[in-house]
Structure formats: structure tokens, C-alpha cells
């Protein structure tokens, strides 16, 4: 059974949304209305976020960058096709891929001793964790990012773009993991990842690994330099560092109120648009 949470109901299909603005956007799926028009080619779009992404075709802005060779692309689909160049076009790459199944991790980080099965994953790790360079900036709030995929996810906060749509219903999502969760919970499509120790189920392998580290292994290698707190993942440590900082990176474009953490900003934004 598909349960929609929200107090604003679509008069056409009964779907509930979090705000009246979301209802108005959703109703365009029934009417076919496309109010956002490209000033260059006159192509029209249902959502403002889709128009923003389309404009890059005309501007030549290359937001999606390969982390292996730094070649950049206008659209994410072009980047995905390009990534195949770095996978199985040579026998060495195939051997590297096979190592992911064997559990062998021959590539060791010289800075933190973490090991990886693929050299590309090692390079990405160094760039994300040990490199402070943030060349990608958000055009809406100026927040800086190390990776293009991080910027892409962040921009959806401002544009309300939801590129991942359910094939069974009209629901759309910002993140792929949100779509996977929806398919499992609402349509019983997909595979649950089950913990061998406590039998708890998770939508993704990542969530299962995080659960195992926290609940059953108690492995916390990331230590805060400001206090004794320890964390399982580097991303958790980076988020914790905000507690010790006065920087408020997330700014609401409607009222200019700023926040340290993304979730606090999202909670505020939902109330602010109503």
C-alpha cells in the first residue's frame, strides 16, 4: 500500500504533498502544462530545475566532471558513457574489477592506510578526504564542493529537481536511494539487504555496512581534532566539525536565514515555502 504523507492534497488524484507549491508542481503532470520556456530554443519544461539543467546545453557549462581524467561534460548521461572508457576496455581494468569480488584490496592510501580494490577508488578517496581543494561552486548560494556529483545533489535543494521517477506511480525523488527505498516499501520491487547478526533489513548495501560498523563492530577510526568524539565514516566527521565552526553554509533564498547543517536547512525550507 502506498502511503503519502503531507497535508496538501492534489484535487485530481488525491496525492498528498508537503506544501501548496509542491501540489501546484505535481498538478502539471495531469494538465501537461509546461510554464518554463528556454529563451534560446523555446523548448518548454514542467519544472524550473529541468530548465536550469537544459540551459547548460546552450551555455556550454560542463558541470559533470570525470574524477579519473578530469574531462567534463554538459550532461550526466554523457559522463556515464565516458566512464566506460575507464572500465573494461583493457584487460587490466577487467582484472581490477574482478578484484572487487575476491575481496582483495591492493591499493593502499599513503595518508591514512585505508585500502581499496580499485586504483580509481583510491584516487577518489584521496580527492574527497585528503584534498581540501573545492573547485565547484553552487550558482545559487556559493557553497563549494570537491566533486561534481556532490554539487549536482546540492543544486537540487534549490531547484527542487527530482530526476528519479517511479515507474509504478507519479512519485519523483531527488536521490536514487530514495527511489530504491520507495520501490521496496511501496511496490515490493528490489532486494532487501539483511544483517546476518540481527536480521535487520536495509534498502542499500551502504546502509547495511554502516549499520554493521556502528552496531556490531564499533569501528570508529575518524577522530575529531577538537573533541574526543569518534566516527565510523569520514563524512560523519566532516558533518560533526560544523559543531565547532561558526560557518553557516546553507542559506535560504526566501528569507536569507542561514544554517550549519543541511537537514536543518531542509526542515526550515519546507516551512518557509508554505
Residues 6+ positions from 80 with CB-CB distance below 8 Å: none
Domain that holds residue 69: 59-155
Rounded Cα distance between 124 and 67, Å, is 7
Flag whether 66 is in a domain: yes
Q: In this structure, what CATH number is given to the domain that contains residue 230?
A: 3.30.160.60
Final residue belonging to a domain, choices 132, 155, 178: 155
Flag whether 22 is in a domain: no
Which of 159, 177, 146 shows the shortest CA–CA distance to 56? 159
Final residue belonging to a domain, choices 108, 139, 155: 155
Sole residue written with cell 504533498: 17
* Tally of residues, the chain: 274
How many beta carbons lie within 10 A of that of residue 25, not counting itself?
A: 19
Res 4: pLDDT = 42
Residues 227 and 146 in one domain: no
User: What residues in the chain have per-residue pLDDT under 50?
Assistant: 1-5, 89-91
Res 115: pLDDT = 80
| Per-position b or e across 87-126, b if 16+ CB within 10 A of its CB | eeeeeebeebeebeeeeeeebeeeeeebebbbebbbebbe
Final residue belonging to a domain, choices 128, 155, 182: 155
Residue-wise pLDDT for 159-207, tens only, equals 777 878 888 888 888 888 888 888 888 888 888 888 888 888 888 887 8
Q: How far apart are the first and last CA of the chain?
A: 28
Phi, psi of 221 (to 5 degrees): -80, -10
Flag whether 146 is in a domain: yes
Q: Tell me the DSSP string of 125-153.
A: HIIIII-----EE-TTT--EESSHHHHHH
**Counted domains in the chain:** 2
Q: Tell me the DSSP string of 162-180.
A: --EE-SSSS-EESSHHHHH
Amino acid at each position: 500500500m502506498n502511503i503519502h504523507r503531507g497535508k496538501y492534497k492534489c484535487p485530481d488524484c488525491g496525492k498528498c504533498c508537503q506544501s501548496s507549491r509542491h501540489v501546484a508542481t505535481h498538478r502539471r503532470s495531469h494538465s501537461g502544462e509546461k510554464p518554463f520556456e528556454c529563451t534560446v530554443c523555446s523548448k518548454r519544461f514542467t519544472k524550473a530545475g529541468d530548465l536550469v539543467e537544459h540551459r547548460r546545453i546552450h551555455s556550454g557549462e560542463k558541470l559533470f566532471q570525470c574524477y579519473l581524467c578530469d574531462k567534463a561534460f554538459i550532461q550526466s548521461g554523457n559522463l556515464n558513457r565516458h566512464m566506460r572508457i575507464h572500465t573494461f576496455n583493457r584487460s587490466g581494468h577487467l582484472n581490477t574489477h574482478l578484484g572487487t569480488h575476491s575481496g582483495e584490496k591492493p591499493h593502499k592510501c599513503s595518508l591514512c592506510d585505508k585500502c581499496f580494490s580499485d586504483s580509481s577508488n583510491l584516487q577518489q578517496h584521496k580527492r574527497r578526504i585528503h584534498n581540501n581543494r573545492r573547485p565547484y561552486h553552487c550558482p545559487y548560494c556559493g557553497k563549494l564542493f570537491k566533486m561534481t556529483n556532490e554539487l549536482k545533489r546540492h543544486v537540487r535543494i534549490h531547484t527542487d529537481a527530482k530526476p528519479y521517477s517511479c515507474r509504478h506511480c507519479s512519485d519523483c525523488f531527488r536521490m536514487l536511494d530514495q527511489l530504491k527505498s520507495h520501490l521496496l516499501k511501496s511496490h515490493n520491487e528490489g532486494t532487501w539487504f539483511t544483517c546476518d547478526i540481527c536480521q535487520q533489513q536495509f534498502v542499500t548495501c551502504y546502509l547495511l555496512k554502516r549499520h554493521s560498523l556502528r552496531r556490531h563492530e564499533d569501528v570508529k577510526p575518524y577522530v575529531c581534532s577538537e573533541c574526543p568524539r569518534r566516527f565510523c565514516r569520514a563524512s560523519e566527521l566532516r558533518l560533526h566539525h560544523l559543531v565547532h565552526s561558526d560557518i553557516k553554509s546553507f542559506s535560504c533564498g526566501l528569507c536569507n536565514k542561514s544554517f550549519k547543517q543541511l537537514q536543518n536547512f531542509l526542515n526550515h525550507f519546507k516551512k518557509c515555502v508554505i
